[in-house]
A and B are shown apart, each in its own frame.
Chain A
Amino acid sequence: MPETQQFIGMEGDGRNDTSLKANVVLKERYKVLGVIGGGGMGTVYQARDLNFTEAKRLVAIKEMQSLAIESAQRATMLRNFQREANILAAMSHPAIPKIFDFWDVQDRTQDRAYLVMEYINGRDLEAILAQTRELPIEKIVEWSIELCDVLDYLHNQTPNPIIFRDMKPSNIMIDALGRVRLIDFGIAKAFVPDATGKGTMIGTEGYSAPEQYKGEATPASDLYGLGATLHHLLTRKDPRLEIPFSFHERPIPNYNDKVPPKFVAIIEKSLAKDIPDRFQSAAEMRAALEDLRARPASAPVTVSSPNAAPSDNSTSFFDDITENSGSVQPKWVFKTEDEIRSAPTLYRDVALVGSYDTNIWALRLENGEQVWKYATKGGIASSPTVDETNKNVVFGSEDFSIYALDVRSGRISWTFQTKDRIRSAPRVAHDHVFIGSDDGKVYALNALNGRKLWEYDAGAPIRSRPYVTNDVVIITCASGELYGLSLSGQRKWAYRTRGAVYSSPYVEPNEGVMFVGSSDGYMYAFDAQSGVSSWRFRTGGPVISSPTENKGLLYFGSTDGYLYAVNAQTSREKWKFNAEKPIVGSPAVHKGSVYFGGTDDYFYCLDAENGKERWRFKMGGAITAAPTIAADLILVGSLDHKLYAFPLIT
């Protein structure tokens, strides 16, 4: 077990060096057999009650020591002990161990108190966690119902409710009959010396509710502790090793996809940081848990339309999905003659999209009517770009050529021939067009007339869109290399990833940090100036999808089937969304929503903050292209040959 509590700087750490030896008889009645537990403030012994001569009646004896030096403080501790022992002795509940006897001994140096209770033959949940790999969900549900039951009993004591205050795996035992038993009723707490002034300490309790650190303990605090315990049991992530109160940052389904969403929801509610957001009583929580038991624990909870995808438990947030069942429908759809593999671009009220049918199509945004089209001699696999200065739309074709067409008429302005197919998208900057080709070169062409300013041979196909800043042209290459070139085409830096790079770089404008994905499975962050890599984030498959950034979060898909939202500065994952099948298209973010398509044929809209699904729409084929935001529409093409225009709902 990891050592999680270190009380640093304490000279005497409370270890009991005067443990009772075996065979010592206490009160002429209890014969000590051995130590069964300890730590903290006391030792627990197993003993035999000699009053029962015929039967071997076992008891547990808890010995507590006061380390306080002042006699007034010692007296207070003993009073507290006596009071609590009396309260406990009055309890009668199957989950609460019976108290048989208690007394205290005072001598010159130390006060000791003894509590004799029922010996429980079993293991605590901490031991069970350490000795198992996985526990059946049904069993955990049953335990939590029993725990709610005993908490309900305690909380309804009169005149004052009893707050357990310390719900955690090590205080919950499962006895030989499989029943839950609550141990350690905080009596020992009175003997824990105040930590103030003892220097810095490492480690937190991990399970306690935030308000308990203000000295408040309510019934809801016990429910929080129960939720924390259940979270630990299900995720196997020890909260003592995590940021305090960060359970919501570790959604249960991320660690255990067998937990029914309703169970997840109950635990999440009990872990709300503010008391009013939790269950108001143990009885209420028990009722919710019993409701869970009523149906098979593993049955999917989401009820969806007949053409819905198989139930997806990757996150717990599937309650209000609309599966293209009416609420979001495309405003118009335009069918081309082959696959649409790339994102459309915009010029005023016109959308321009390339299709593998060799055409570039100009469509009216209003209704999707064709304005013009232009046929090349090869499929168009990459996005066009509008050169606003020269009013041209620029794009490459698999016929090896780069085209610049008058964006209003579709008439040709200029063309430029490379030596292989073009699947790179152009970037227009500094009056030039920057575009790569499968011939391994990146070209800088005069945007007005297509005349070549320079070319740079990267030695392997370039299939991404170059990124151009004030002084560096960044290209990515199928060899796995990235290059930073000066505006005159000289290499400034190079960086090699361990897989082909098809993802286009994205440069965050304020800090000049560049992000790009690689087939080696990582998303990388670089200084665009120097090419020095600051971090990489590992996914479960090649990253083809180009990243986009919004409000400090970086969004990208991976062929492992997840869409990721990662803190762009720290590289820490904020959330991920499971689309089940590879995501190769890039996401777009608009007004708090992130939009992307998957190879599972769905177009998704998620809450950009938390990854909760807002809606999805099923298309007739996979989506490999990024969506484009166009005023009040979002446009996206699919391999089903169609371009879809959805209304933007904000």
Chain B
Amino acid sequence: MSFFRRLFSSQSLPKPGDPPASPAKSTGELVPITPTQPSAAVQPPTPPTEPMQRPTGEPEQRPLNGFSTGSLVDGVTRPLPQDALIDLTGNEHLAFGQATDVGMVRTNNQDSAFSFFSAARSAFERPDFGLFVVADGMGGHHDGEKASALAARSVGTHLLTKIGMPLLIGDDHFNDVPITEAMNDAILKANNEVVQKVPDGGTTCTAVTVIGDMAYIAHVGDSRVYFIQREKIERLTRDHSLVERLIELEQLTREEAEDHPQKNVLYRALGQNEDIEVDTLTRRLPPRSRILICSDGLWNQVDDTKIRDVINLYPNPQEACSELVKLANNSGGLDNVTVILLQLPG
């Protein structure tokens, strides 16, 4: 258990019986996963604001841009140094936002997120590189947040080691193993860690690697990846849930699925078994298109067109993320909600 102590030492994990978690302070220690933080940026659903209304005035948050490193999802807004701010129009590089919240009902946040992005301009001509992971844990006694934290960190660091760092160094061996195969390996490795270290926990895991304008996706569970381009919103992942499968087979309608007694049954998740099948796919991202990675706390509460509208309304991906979280909470906030939004330059 020393592992978890290390992992969580800087976090105030809510103990059973604790009042709803108090905001965890990020200490700046290099722990890119923070499983339990109510977002300070997201106001409780006090007077149902008009989420569709564009906020006026200068936005507080700016997309992380230029060369940046691992970010903490703690929902705490920090101003970025002025020199990191650039104009939103005509971005040269990918921008991203990330937000998570415990929701309105649960007492702990079992979601984890990991983001890493680098862009460099130099004679070496390395493409933009990004790595983004959302994991939604399940299990009592904090097993859920442990499982998701472990998965997000394991996948993140494995891919950074195998792809990210060699790519930045200029080592062509970064591609000795094809990208989606490396991502598959990363999730299998994370699965083994979850099976061994959190035997009673499980987690979804959805990872996106971006190299240049290509997105490589690896996915297990019912967190989702959406592709958004103007009026189009397309789900790229398939939920590994029993009801989704019954819908695919036309044995159940979407409406019947809404309140199906086994709505919460996943047929595939990390921690289930030593051997799991990972879905992988590749997608070329056109200029100005977006990729949204989210846990079911978002898509169960907010329908796809609404998600698309919010994303189109807020050109700043961090603002869009905060709005999405707010919207999920305003619609009931029955579950933890985590979103990562990537915006392609153009």
Name A's B-contacting residues (CB within 8 A).
Answer: 2-4, 6, 8-11, 194-196, 198-204, 210-211, 213-214, 241, 243-245, 273, 494-495, 511-513, 524-525, 527, 529-536, 569-571
B281 on the interface (CB 8 Å rule)? Answer: yes
State which residues 263-322 of B face A: CB under 8 Å: 264-269, 271-275, 279-284
- Per a CB cutoff under 8 Å, which of B245, B264, B274 touches A243? B245
Q: Which of B246, B264, B274 has the most CB of A within 10 A?
A: B264
B59 on the interface (CB 8 Å rule)? Answer: no
The smallest C-beta distance from A471 to any residue of chain B, in angstroms, reads 14
State which residues 121-153 of B face A: CB under 8 Å: 127, 136, 138-140, 143-144
A sample of 9 cross-chain residue pairs with beta-carbon separation below 8 angstroms, ordered by A number, consists of A202-B269, A202-B271, A241-B272, A273-B251, A495-B175, A512-B284, A527-B214, A530-B212, A532-B214
Nearest 8 pairs between A and B by C-beta? A533-B178, A200-B138, A210-B251, A534-B282, A8-B139, A202-B272, A535-B180, A8-B138
**Do the beta carbons of B281 and A569 come within 8 Å of each other?**
yes
The smallest C-beta distance from A461 to any residue of chain B, in angstroms, reads 23
**Do the beta carbons of A534 and B246 come within 8 Å of each other?**
no
Report the bound CA distance from A513 to B284 in whole Å.
9
**Do the beta carbons of A570 and B279 come within 8 Å of each other?**
yes
Report the bound CA distance from A201 to B144 in whole Å.
11
Report the bound CA distance from A524 to B211 in whole Å.
18
Given contacts A4-B272, A8-B144, contact A533 B282 (CB under 8 A): no
**Do the beta carbons of B251 and A9 come within 8 Å of each other?**
no
Which of chain B's residues has its CB closest to A530's CB?
B212
**Do the beta carbons of B261 and A244 come within 8 Å of each other?**
no
**Do the beta carbons of A533 and B175 come within 8 Å of each other?**
yes
Report the bound CA distance from A198 to B265 in whole Å.
10
State which residues 27-50 of B face A: CB under 8 Å: none
**Do the beta carbons of A244 and B245 come within 8 Å of each other?**
yes
Report the bound CA distance from A9 to B264 in whole Å.
11
Report the bound CA distance from A241 to B268 in whole Å.
8
B252 on the interface (CB 8 Å rule)? Answer: yes
Which of chain A's residues has its CB closest to B213's CB?
A529
**Do the beta carbons of B179 and A533 come within 8 Å of each other?**
yes
Report the bound CA distance from A513 to B179 in whole Å.
14
Given contacts A203-B272, A525-B282, contact A211 B251 (CB under 8 A): yes
Chain B residues near A241 (CB, 8 Å)?
Answer: 272-273, 275
**Do the beta carbons of A213 and B139 come within 8 Å of each other?**
no
Chain A residues near B273 (CB, 8 Å)?
Answer: 2-4, 241
Report the bound CA distance from A243 to B242 in whole Å.
9
Number of A-B contacts (CB under 8 A): 141
**Do the beta carbons of A534 and B201 come within 8 Å of each other?**
no
**Do the beta carbons of A194 and B242 come within 8 Å of each other?**
no
Which of chain A's residues has its CB closest to B202's CB?
A202
**Do the beta carbons of B178 and A195 come within 8 Å of each other?**
no
**Do the beta carbons of B279 and A199 come within 8 Å of each other?**
no
Chain A residues near B266 (CB, 8 Å)?
Answer: 200-203
**Do the beta carbons of A203 and B265 come within 8 Å of each other?**
yes
Chain A residues near B269 (CB, 8 Å)?
Answer: 200, 202
Given contacts A4-B273, A195-B262, A202-B269, contact A214 B256 (CB under 8 A): yes
Report the bound CA distance from A536 to B282 in whole Å.
12
Which of chain B's residues has its CB closest to A196's CB?
B261
**Do the beta carbons of B245 and A245 come within 8 Å of each other?**
yes
Count residues of chain B with CB under 8 A from any CB of chain A.
48
Interface flags, B232-245, vs A, CB<8A=1, else 0: 00000000101001
Which of chain B's residues has its CB closest to A531's CB?
B175
B200 on the interface (CB 8 Å rule)? Answer: yes
Report the bound CA distance from A203 to B268 in whole Å.
7
Report the bound CA distance from A471 to B228 in whole Å.
27
**Do the beta carbons of B284 and A511 come within 8 Å of each other?**
yes
**Do the beta carbons of A203 and B267 come within 8 Å of each other?**
yes
Report the bound CA distance from A213 to B180 in whole Å.
34
B1 on the interface (CB 8 Å rule)? Answer: no
Chain B residues near A512 (CB, 8 Å)?
Answer: 284
Instruction: Given contacts A273-B249, A532-B211, list 17 more A-B pairs with CB under 8 A.
Output: A3-B273, A8-B140, A8-B200, A8-B202, A194-B261, A199-B264, A200-B265, A202-B272, A203-B266, A210-B249, A213-B242, A245-B246, A273-B251, A527-B212, A530-B212, A530-B214, A531-B175
Report the bound CA distance from A210 to B214 in whole Å.
38
Report the bound CA distance from A210 to B256 in whole Å.
14
Interface flags, B172-191, vs A, CB<8A=1, else 0: 10010011110000000000
B216 on the interface (CB 8 Å rule)? Answer: yes
Report the bound CA distance from A570 to B284 in whole Å.
14
The smallest C-beta distance from B335 to any residue of chain A, in angstroms, reads 9
**Do the beta carbons of A11 and B281 come within 8 Å of each other?**
no
Which of chain B's residues has its CB closest to A533's CB?
B178
Report the bound CA distance from A538 to B202 in whole Å.
30
Chain B residues near A243 (CB, 8 Å)?
Answer: 240, 245, 267-268
Chain B residues near A527 (CB, 8 Å)?
Answer: 212, 214, 282, 284
**Do the beta carbons of B178 and A204 come within 8 Å of each other?**
no
**Do the beta carbons of A6 and B202 come within 8 Å of each other?**
yes
**Do the beta carbons of B246 and A202 come within 8 Å of each other?**
no
Given contacts A8-B138, A199-B138, A534-B214, contact A525 B245 (CB under 8 A): no
Chain B residues near A245 (CB, 8 Å)?
Answer: 245-246, 249
Report the bound CA distance from A273 to B284 in whole Å.
35
Which of chain A's residues has its CB closest to B211's CB?
A532
Chain A residues near B245 (CB, 8 Å)?
Answer: 243-245
- Per a CB cutoff under 8 Å, which of A201, A529, A571 touches B264? A201
Report the bound CA distance from A213 to B263 in whole Å.
10
Which of chain A's residues has its CB closest to B174's CB?
A532
Interface flags, B189-218, vs A, CB<8A=1, else 0: 000000000001110000000011010100
**Do the beta carbons of A244 and B138 come within 8 Å of each other?**
no
- Per a CB cutoff under 8 Å, which of A11, A202, A525, A530 touches B178? A525
Report the bound CA distance from A379 to B85 in whole Å.
65
Q: Which of A8, A9, A494, A511 has the most CB of B within 10 A?
A: A8
Chain A residues near B262 (CB, 8 Å)?
Answer: 195, 213
The smallest C-beta distance from A511 to any residue of chain B, in angstroms, reads 5
Which of chain A's residues has its CB closest to B241's CB?
A200
Which of chain B's residues has its CB closest to A3's CB?
B273
The smallest C-beta distance from B213 to any residue of chain A, in angstroms, reads 8
Which of chain A's residues has its CB closest to B222's CB?
A200
The smallest C-beta distance from B106 to any residue of chain A, in angstroms, reads 9
The smallest C-beta distance from B293 to any residue of chain A, in angstroms, reads 18
Chain B residues near A533 (CB, 8 Å)?
Answer: 175, 178-179
The smallest C-beta distance from A301 to any residue of chain B, in angstroms, reads 29
**Do the beta carbons of B180 and A534 come within 8 Å of each other?**
yes
Report the bound CA distance from A368 to B202 in whole Å.
65
**Do the beta carbons of B246 and A213 come within 8 Å of each other?**
yes
